[in-house]
Amino acid sequence: MAEHNMIKRSAKAVAGTFLVVIGIIVTPLPIPFGVIMIIIGLSLLASSVPRVREYLITLRRRYRDASGRLNQVKNRLPTFARQLIEETDPERS
């Protein structure tokens, strides 16, 4: 069972990293696919790599205005993005 969890966690980390990198490459295109890919990749990484989650919390503490805006719009976002915002909310941790 532990081996299955490790494989699942590793697959999430690889997929998340891939999506973030491809999202950064695709961001200059006029259609916002790059931003969507980055958000999905970060949500995968934050759920599987604790250091990424801690780093996102630190960023949100540093940029409180942006963090507040994220909290305001989270109810209009898809579930995976809402979960990422809630998991990295510095007020909750």
Query: Number of H helices and number of E strands within the chain?
Result: 5, 0
In the chain, the percentage of residues whose pLDDT exceeds 70 is 98
Residue range 63-92: mean pLDDT, rounded: 91
- Going from the C-alpha of 18 to that of each of 7, 33, 66, the distances in angstroms are 16, 14, 25
Confidence of residue 73 (pLDDT cuts 50, 70, 90): very high
pTM of the model: 0.79
Domain ranges of the chain: 2-87
Per-residue pLDDT of 28-67, as tens digits, reads 988 888 988 998 999 999 989 999 999 999 999 999 999 9
3-class DSSP assignment, residue 41: helix
Total Cβ atoms within 10 A of residue 16: 22
pLDDT of 44 reads: 92
